[in-house]
Amino acid sequence: MELKKHIWMGIATAICFGCMPKKEKYTSYEQYPVRSGNLLEMEYAPQNTTFTLWAPTADGVNVSLYTTGSGGTPYRVIPMARDVEGTWTALVGDDLIGKYYTFNVQIDKQWLGETPGINARAVGVNGARGAIIDMHLTDPDGWKDDRRPPLASWADAVIYEMHHRDFSIHPSSGIREKGKFTALTEQGTRTPDGQSTGIDHLKELGITHVHLLPSYDFASIDETRLEENKYNWGYDPQNYNVPEGSYSTNPYNPVVRIREFKQMVQALHKAGIRVVLDVVYNHTFDTANSNFERTVPGYFYRHKPDGSFADGSACGNETASNRAMMRKYMVESVRYWINEYHLDGFRFDLMGIHDIETMNEIREAATAIDPSIIIYGEGWAANPPQYPADSLAMKANINRMPGIAAFSDELRDGLRGPFNDDMKGAFLAGIPGEEESIKFGIVGAIDYPFLNYNLVNYSKQAWAEQPTQLISYVSCHDDLCLVDRLRSCVQGDTPSMINKLDKLAQTVVFTSQGIPFIYAGEEVMRDKKGVHNSYQSPDSINAIDWNRKAQNADLFAYYKALIQLRKHHPAFRLGDAELVRRHLRFLPVKGGNLIAFRLTGNAGGDAWKEIIVAYNSRRENAEVTVPNGSYTLVCLDGVINEAGLRTVHGQTLDVPAQSALIAYSHER
């Protein structure tokens, strides 16, 4: 009976090949057909499995079936039939659950090499073969009831950027599944001296969003040799729509990595924390051997005039989001992560490589599911992309992408110094000249009439329509972390001084009108031993030592209080450009390294009628002139207490050296 079935399928395939559409000849990528509907390449049912691959330039396509996710040879190779819209199809009338598959495309008598396709949603170890599973079996208990924590406005977000290994790998974390997705499901974890870690630490700190560094299947870690403890950030895409195997407890089982990722999301949601995924659609780890290039050569990448691959990513290639199928792929991928994994946001790596139209379509797709989903990215590229600059999702074009935010390097470098010179300081180092760049960040990069844009470091005009289009930050995974940067550029630094400047830097971030963003571990004064680019450094460099939480208890308390201050007082998160222009006024000061502003008239409905904020990076106290009145100090000399530290009267406020001051008045 089995033999008869195989003979019949062979006859059917031959008949199909005899009547299948002819191969078209295309003179430009724009002529390639666009596949309608979804881009699924494998659709499983117990009765049969359908394979569909978009490969319009292929002369032939085979799908190979395997019993294992790696090693061995296929037990069956099935020629696929050319179908409509550039696709190839095959129907296998067996129950293939638990099997694996690859596609192989032939062009001009050359087989390009096996891949799991461009849209695999489950894979074997190291992602070389697609896996045939029942996705329903990947859902943890209660998954259907999983809900996003409430978020009234993007202005309410507090983002915490985290790498899985960094966060849990250190022995002091008290976490069992170190470096795994499930590390973020463990409750009650503690340091040896009893400090909370893991998900309890995040709840205690008060953040609203965890930003996960790339957690899809990336190529730079060998999942069969995890005992080597190899490290990478994950900006090496292999399979965009599958969780990374090295972060699962069993990379050989395709169901496990998916279920554990969902368990992580579910646990964070129950803790009141949303989940943002760092996505890297702008380039692939490999070029010639990538899933894209082995499927439709040339199409998914941009090229230079001489035909070589463009390299806006500085990683060997740049993808062509402007092409219809790449755009469709990106939109569908984001939609899939939202629907299947319940994600709450996306951070786009080198977003400036993508075109504006694609990013707006992604925003529209996310909004149709849930308008509160947050989208932000790096508004730049590593090298100039091969696409018109006025059509790219660069920071300067953010005002043409409503609902999408970009990182503010103006604020970042105005505080700590330029990206390309670790030794050069700025405001925090007591070097004058960057005050206007910091003010630019404070107002959220909007058009603000009381700002001298000619003095802003990188942008000579506003680029945001709304303050929620700016991500406020002073450091992230890339480049030196905050403590290391302060040590490298502040003359005569001491531990006490680093502590003070750390607090000052984050006070600027959290009292600015953009969306605040911090790098995991900085609340306990992590460092990376001065390593600038730690993407391949060992755990000894990257791991967060949670013993520091007790050692730097006052710093953690300050971060926690700063987050609560922002949450409790809508004046710091107005979320609307017109409200910022109406309620925020900078105060005149004498000399550099001093910035002060007022938030007036119950800004945003705040219970505090008028708020004064001042930042002093001088090594001596500074005096700020304010409207005559009575003021309650709530932040002074590295201490925050919303109930009030003390009350002062008059028209001057004394701001201690290298610190921030926040005061309020009920009189106006």
In a domain, 337, yes or no: yes
Residues 6+ apart with CB under 8 A from 394: 352, 379, 380, 381
Residues 6+ apart with CB under 8 A from 413: 419, 426, 434, 437, 457, 458
Do 532 and 477 contact (CB within 8 A), yes or no?
Answer: no
In a domain, 611, yes or no: yes
Radius of gyration of the chain (CA): 27
226-235, 375-384, 534-543, range with the lowest pLDDT: 226-235
Residues 6+ apart with CB under 8 A from 215: 164, 181, 234, 243, 244, 247, 261, 277, 278
DSSP letter assigned to residue 355 = B
Instruction: State the pLDDT at residue 5.
Output: 39
Q: List, for residues 303-327, the tens digit of each pLDDT value.
A: 999 999 999 999 999 999 999 999 9
pTM of the model: 0.96
Do 220 and 226 contact (CB within 8 A), yes or no?
Answer: no
In a domain, 578, yes or no: no
First vs last C-alpha separation in the chain: 89
**Residues 536, 654 within the same domain:** no
**Residues 232, 358 within the same domain:** yes
Q: List, for residues 402-443, the tens digit of each pLDDT value.
A: 999 999 999 999 999 999 999 999 999 999 999 999 999 999
3-state SS track over 172-204: HHCCCCCCCHHHHHCCCCECCCCCECHHHHHHH
Q: List, for residues 544-576, the tens digit of each pLDDT value.
A: 999 999 999 999 999 999 999 999 999 999 999
- Evaluate if residue 18 carries a pLDDT over 60: no
Find the Cα–Cα–Cα–Cα dihedral 425, 431, 434, 435, rounded to 10°: 130
Instruction: State the pLDDT at residue 24.
Output: 85
DSSP letter assigned to residue 23 = P
5-9, 414-418, 464-468, 527-531, range with the lowest pLDDT: 5-9
596: region left, alpha or beta (phi > 0 left; psi from -120 to 50 alpha):
beta
**For the chain, what percent of residues have pLDDT higher than 70?**
97
In a domain, 145, yes or no: no
In a domain, 147, yes or no: no
- pLDDT band at residue 668, thresholds of 50, 70 and 90? low
**For the chain, what percent of residues have pLDDT higher than 90?**
95
- Evaluate if residue 7 carries a pLDDT over 50: no
- Evaluate if residue 13 carries a pLDDT over 50: no
- Residue ending a domain, among 85, 108, 138, is 138
**Residues 546, 643 within the same domain:** no
- Which one of 186, 260, 378, 545 is the catalytic residue? 378
> Any idea what the CATH number is for the domain that residue 536 is in?
3.20.20.80
- Which one of 349, 434, 435, 522 is the catalytic residue? 349
Do 616 and 593 contact (CB within 8 A), yes or no?
Answer: yes
> Any idea what the CATH number is for the domain that residue 39 is in?
2.60.40.10
**Identity of the residue numbered 542:** N
The strand ranges marked E within 134-265 are: 159-162, 209-212, 216-218, 237-243
Active site annotation includes 378: yes
Distance between CA atoms of 258 and 600, rounded to whole angstroms? 49
CA neighbours within 13 Å on the CB side: how many for 98? 2
- Evaluate if residue 17 carries a pLDDT over 50: no
Q: Residue 540 belongs to what H/E stretch? A: helix 539-542
Active site annotation includes 355: no
In a domain, 143, yes or no: no
In a domain, 577, yes or no: no
Instruction: State the pLDDT at residue 2.
Output: 38
Do 463 and 620 contact (CB within 8 A), yes or no?
Answer: no
Indicate the average pLDDT of the chain: 95
Q: List, for residues 129-184, the tens digit of each pLDDT value.
A: 999 999 999 999 999 999 999 999 999 999 999 999 999 999 999 999 999 999 99
Distance between CA atoms of 121 and 279, rounded to whole angstroms? 15
Average pLDDT (362-373) is 98
3-class DSSP state of 582: helix
Instruction: State the pLDDT at residue 15.
Output: 39
**Residues 319, 225 within the same domain:** yes
> Any idea what the CATH number is for the domain that residue 621 is in?
2.60.40.1180
Do 430 and 619 contact (CB within 8 A), yes or no?
Answer: yes
Q: Which residue range is the domain that position 100 belongs to?
A: 2-138
Average pLDDT (5-13) is 39
**Residues 36, 118 within the same domain:** yes
- Evaluate if residue 23 carries a pLDDT over 90: no
Instruction: State the pLDDT at residue 9.
Output: 43
Do 387 and 352 contact (CB within 8 A), yes or no?
Answer: no
DSSP letter assigned to residue 490 = S
**Residues 405, 535 within the same domain:** yes
Instruction: State the pLDDT at residue 19.
Output: 57
Distance between CA atoms of 185 and 277, rounded to whole angstroms? 17
Instruction: State the pLDDT at residue 8.
Output: 38
pLDDT higher for 666 or 239? 239
**Residues 637, 553 within the same domain:** no
In a domain, 149, yes or no: no
Q: In 10 A of CB 91, how many CB atoms? A: 17
Q: List the beta bridge partners of residue 652.
A: 625
- Interstrand relation of 49-54 and 87-92 (parallel, antiparallel or unpaired): antiparallel
**Residues 296, 190 within the same domain:** yes
**Residues 172, 128 within the same domain:** no
- Residue ending a domain, among 113, 138, 163, is 138
Find the Cα–Cα–Cα–Cα dihedral 346, 351, 354, 355, rounded to 10°: 90
Q: Please state the domain count of the chain.
A: 3
- Evaluate if residue 11 carries a pLDDT over 70: no
Distance between CA atoms of 663 and 647, rounded to whole angstroms? 9
Instruction: State the pLDDT at residue 4.
Output: 36
**Residues 125, 232 within the same domain:** no
**Residues 514, 400 within the same domain:** yes
The single residue listed with the structure tokens 């803790």 is 271
Find the Cα–Cα–Cα–Cα dihedral 577, 578, 580, 585, rounded to 10°: 130
**Residues 290, 244 within the same domain:** yes
- Interstrand relation of 374-377 and 345-348 (parallel, antiparallel or unpaired): parallel
- Residue ending a domain, among 68, 103, 138, is 138
